[in-house]
């Protein structure tokens, strides 16, 4: 079934204790597309500047991504983000953000994307996410990501959004900030009370928790020996999850657990090399192999 993502497309500069790279392809929707593309075709809406290389667009299209909703701003510059990881690769500091073309971006969903059944609202101002939601006709399952900045500056809009969507993916620190509590289980429950009936709290290398009104399900991360760059892990997690749900055509609890396992697997590949490079080299056979391995780890 049809899957739409609206989010950032970026040039990222990333520093870790071992390496640094400049102006590599990134952005929440790029990671999402590469991950979801293993499971279902994806429709992408986003904005780039004239400086954005056409080969990046071709690379996405070769992976079944419909990039016809990509706006290229004449004379504009693509969004740039840079971040640094320290010894604890679970924590990162944003060094700089240049919004550039993202600053005035008002997403316009093309007519032929408005019937999308599965929709992922990647990290953006909640007012922007709400405007996307207004443009899709009758989606079956809508999930959103957010970040500390919007929790601090646009909390009313964020809570309005949460009343209208089915699922939320959020980092543990952000979940605690949003709900003003110190207990992550309590935080997940409070977010459920805000409206969404599926809440996924991500805990980096410590895995994730799925909250429904019936239960709380913990999922470990796939154990990795060499985490080179966790950038995009959250977005590729969301891509694996939404791609699997779109492929199944429904988001019932039975499907959801399998979808979360794919999310864990695909995001683990993302961390094994810088930027999007590891996801680009990953094959569907790699995903299936690691999925079976992960399933085995979960069996008691």
Kindly indicate which of the ranges 25-33, 68-76, 113-121, 287-295 contains the residues binding ligand AMP, using the contact rule CB under 6 A.
25-33
241 binds ligand AMP (CB under 6 A): no
Helix, strand, coil distribution of the chain in percent, nearest 5: 40, 25, 35
What are the tokens at 294? Answer: 């992960």
Kindly indicate which of the ranges 24-32, 108-116, 252-260, 286-294 contains the residues binding ligand AMP, using the contact rule CB under 6 A.
24-32
233 binds ligand AMP (CB under 6 A): yes
Largest CA distance in the chain: 57
Rounded (10°) CA dihedral 160, 161, 163, 165: 170
CB of 193 to ligand AMP, least distance (A): 25
Q: What are the backbone angles phi and psi of residue 34, rounded to the nearest 5°?
A: -65, -40
CB of 250 to ligand AMP, least distance (A): 26
CB of 263 to ligand AMP, least distance (A): 12
What are the tokens at 173? Answer: 């620190």
150 binds ligand AMP (CB under 6 A): no
Whether residue 187 contacts residue 216, with contact meaning beta carbons closer than 8 Å, is answered with no
- Residue 1 or residue 97: which is nearer to ligand AMP going by CB? 97
What are the tokens at 217? Answer: 């399900």
Kindly indicate which of the ranges 26-34, 48-56, 159-167, 218-226 contains the residues binding ligand AMP, using the contact rule CB under 6 A.
26-34
Size of the site for ligand AMP (CB under 6 A): 14
The C-alpha atoms of residue 91 and residue 114 are separated, in whole angstroms, by: 37
The C-alpha atoms of residue 24 and residue 10 are separated, in whole angstroms, by: 8
Instruction: Please give the sequence-ordered ranges of beta strands (E in DSSP) within 65-178, or none if there are none.
Output: 65-73, 79-85, 92-98, 118-121, 141-145, 167-171
239 binds ligand AMP (CB under 6 A): no
CB of 150 to ligand AMP, least distance (A): 9
Contact pattern for ligand AMP over residues 60 through 99, marking x by CB under 6 A: ---------------------x---------------x--
**Which residues bind to ligand AMP, rule: CB under 6 A?**
8, 10, 12, 26-28, 81, 97, 123, 231-235
């Amino acid at each position: 079934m049809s899957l739409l993502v609206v989010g950032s497309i970026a040039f990222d500069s990333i520093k870790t204790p071992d390496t640094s790279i400049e102006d590599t392809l990134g952005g929440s929707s790029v990671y999402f597309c590469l991950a979801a593309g293993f499971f279902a075709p994806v429709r992408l809406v986003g904005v780039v500047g004239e400086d954005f290389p056409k080969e990046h667009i071709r690379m996405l299209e070769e992976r079944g991504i419909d990039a016809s909703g990509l706006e290229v701003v004449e004379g504009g510059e693509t969004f740039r983000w840079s971040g640094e990881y320290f010894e604890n690769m679970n924590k990162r500091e944003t060094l700089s953000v240049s919004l550039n073309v993202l600053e005035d971006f008002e997403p316009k969903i093309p007519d032929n994307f408005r019937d999308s059944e599965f929709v992922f609202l990647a990290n953006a101002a909640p007012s922007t996410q709400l405007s996307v939601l207004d443009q899709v006709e009758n989606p079956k399952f809508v999930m959103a990501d957010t970040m500390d900045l919007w929790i601090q500056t646009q909390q009313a809009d964020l809570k309005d959004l949460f009343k209208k969507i089915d699922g939320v993916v959020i980092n543990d620190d952000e979940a605690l900030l949003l709900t003003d509590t110190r207990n992550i289980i309590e935080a997940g429950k409070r977010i459920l009370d805000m409206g969404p009936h599926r809440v996924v709290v991500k805990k980096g290398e410590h895995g994730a928790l799925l909250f429904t009104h019936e239960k709380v399900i913990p999922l470990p991360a796939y154990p990795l020996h060499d985490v080179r760059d966790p950038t995009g892990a959250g977005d590729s997690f969301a891509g694996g999850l939404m791609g699997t749900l779109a492929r199944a055509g429904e988001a019932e609890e039975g499907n959801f657990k399998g979808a979360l396992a794919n999310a864990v697997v695909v995001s683990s590949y993302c961390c094994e090399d810088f930027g999007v490079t590891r996801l680009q080299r990953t094959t569907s056979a790699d995903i299936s192999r690691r999925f079976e391995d992960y399933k085995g780890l979960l069996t008691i």
